[in-house]
Amino acid sequence: MIEVNELLREKLSTEHYDRLIALDNPKMHEFVADAIELTGAASVFVCTDSEEDRAYIREKAVNDGEETPLDIPSHTCHFDGYNDQARDKAQTKYLLPPGSDLGASLNCIENRSGIEEVRSFLKGSMAGREMLVLFFCLGPLDSDFSIPCVQITDSPYVAHSETILYRPGYEQFGKIGPSGDFFRFLHSEGELAPASNKRGPVSKNIDKRRIYIDLEDDLVYSVNTQYGGNTIGLKKLALRLAIQKASMQGWLAEHMFVLGAHGPGGRVTYFAGAFPSACGKTSTSMLPGQTIVGDDIAYFRKIDGQIRSVNVEKGIFGIIRDVNSQNDPIIYQALTSSCEVIFSNVLIDDNHKPHWLGMGSELPAEGTNHSGKWQKGKTDDKGNEITASHKNARYCLNIPDLDNCDPLLDDPQGVPVGGVIYGGRDSDTWVPVEQAFDWKEGIIVKGASLESETTAATLGKEGVRTFNLMSNLDFLSIPLGRYIRNNLDFAGDIENPPLIFSVNYFLKDEDGTYLNGMADKLVWILWAELRVNGDVDGIETPTGLIPKYEDLARLFKDNLGTEYTRDDYVRQFTIRIPENLAKLDRVEKIYREKVSDTPAIVFDTFEDVRKRFKAAADKHGDYISPFELTAQ
């Protein structure tokens, strides 16, 4: 400890040394000292919770060229390197000790060689630059959900983003004491190179980009990258640490939004929901007339006989494509107001105004974007068109700046969860909304069977079904079978667990047209709200309960001002038995061939559901109108 203190005294100014030492945690001090020695940082800034320190970070991001001021004073734009604009799945790996195994589905590397490699890339990476040491809290402050975190980075853009996305944690860290647990994140942009005709430096050695996760030590290394998904440690990187921590401690960490659905008489029922990318997750969390707790990551704990949840974050790092005043009026209003926003990889015109794909107005013919100076028709070195704004362009803002922020966002007790929703992009199988019979079938038949179809825009081939266990497959840090078992067991001692629903906004007719309108999702969620509170009955199907026609007709009229016809109802809620049986076969094959620790109850449940489908087909045929089920 003497060596650590000596190094810290030598490298830190008196003010920043005192800030660090005021937090009585030797493990944290050692972490900071090791990072200084490893990266060769020229100076160190220890960030407290003060507004002055936040302002310093914001100003540094602009002064260092990592963010460009925009036409609205509180708005800035960041550009990532041209080949550094998405999560690097191939180089995001778990560091495991010899003999450990997370299963073939998870990307792992032996910890000794992995640590040696990533630390060699971090060696001297901050020479001549200032190291930023920041403290945050995952979950509300002073809560059973709280997880203190330390982020070390040399990127003021990363630091600035996290001050918007996460609750300040310096004071919280001071409460955990010398032996308290916390998550640690060490990031360096690595060697920087200015991009041609572009403001700001970018990471140069992308071929040495690494994101390594040490599950034994609650530590994440990230180097030679600026993109938020690879560098903002408290987001999906922390989710991986939290999933393992939750597994050991008996709670859940999920890739879910949390929404307050407003029912009759001012009642609010809270739902959590898991949706793969491009399946309506953000738009569901932002439904008109409802309130948002969070759009991305949620923790769940059992408190006083209830399952309660919190938003791990306090901000949104969202894809900005197609955000406009018609589809996303609340987000659009925030993005065009004076609240603090960081845009990334959008188009900036000569008047420093941001533009993005699908914003609802004509785009300029030229400007500056992720490729540098841009004009309409510009192509890359392979002849592909470079769009005005990157398809993965982002915005970063604070949820309390949204008009629909739920008042319980920061409640230390979280919100009581009334329902859980699983949704995917599905053209021909699932009905628009259905309630599972119970928690077990909800987890297995809805969550553990979740698939989503690819779109032509993403992979060039539409309709390829991709398995995505509870929309959390990319972030799991424990074997898949154990993850399913944890979810099954979680509600075992809860007298009235949340109801579980599936939704599908992408069901198509035979001619390929969508059977759902974009606004219809509000009705499906409001019907689920009524079911949770016992206000309406459902019709039994082989996999759960679907709405009655008259209840949906009333919800459409009262909430959307539209007529919902019996023909609409039949086309949307016909039970498609061949497609459902094919789905069961696809998913079961994955579990039998790729998940060696699949709980037996999964296969037993699949067989029970298969028998129900076959019995229904014997009685009604392969395609069953909901009115036939009503007449049973």
**Residue numbers annotated as active site:** 279
Pairing of strands 68-69, 75-78: antiparallel
Are the C-beta atoms of 611 and 542 separated by less than 8 Å?
no
Question: HSE on the CB side for 19, CA within 13 Å?
Answer: 20
CA distance 130 to 263: 51
CA distance 23 to 182: 13
Alpha helices in 380-443 (DSSP H): 439-441
Q: Give the 3-state DSSP-derived string for 596-607, with helices as H, strands as E and coil as C.
A: CCCCHHHHHHHH
Q: At 248, list the tokens.
A: 């050991």
Give which of 39, 87, 85, 38 is closest to 210, Cα–Cα: 87
DSSP state of 419: E
Q: Give the 3-state DSSP-derived string for 131-177, with helices as H, strands as E and coil as C.
A: EEEEEEEECCCCCCCCEEEEEEECCHHHHHHHHHHCEECHHHHCCCC
CA distance 130 to 111: 28
CA distances to 329, 487, 500 from 497, in Å: 34, 12, 9
Q: CB under 8 Å to 327, separation ≥6 — which residues?
A: 283, 518
Are the C-beta atoms of 380 and 83 separated by less than 8 Å?
no
Are the C-beta atoms of 40 and 126 separated by less than 8 Å?
yes
**Rg, the chain, Cα only:** 25
Order of strands, edge to edge, in the sheet holding 366-369?
354-355, 347-348, 366-369, 372-375
The total number of residues written for the chain in this structure: 632
CA distance 241 to 181: 12
Buried b (16+ CB within 10 A) or exposed e, 596-619: eebbeebeebbeebbebbeebbee
CB neighbours of residue 460 within 10 Å: 9
Greatest pairwise CA separation for the chain in angstroms: 81
Are the C-beta atoms of 466 and 276 separated by less than 8 Å?
yes
CA distances to 98, 257, 341 from 286, in Å: 45, 10, 18
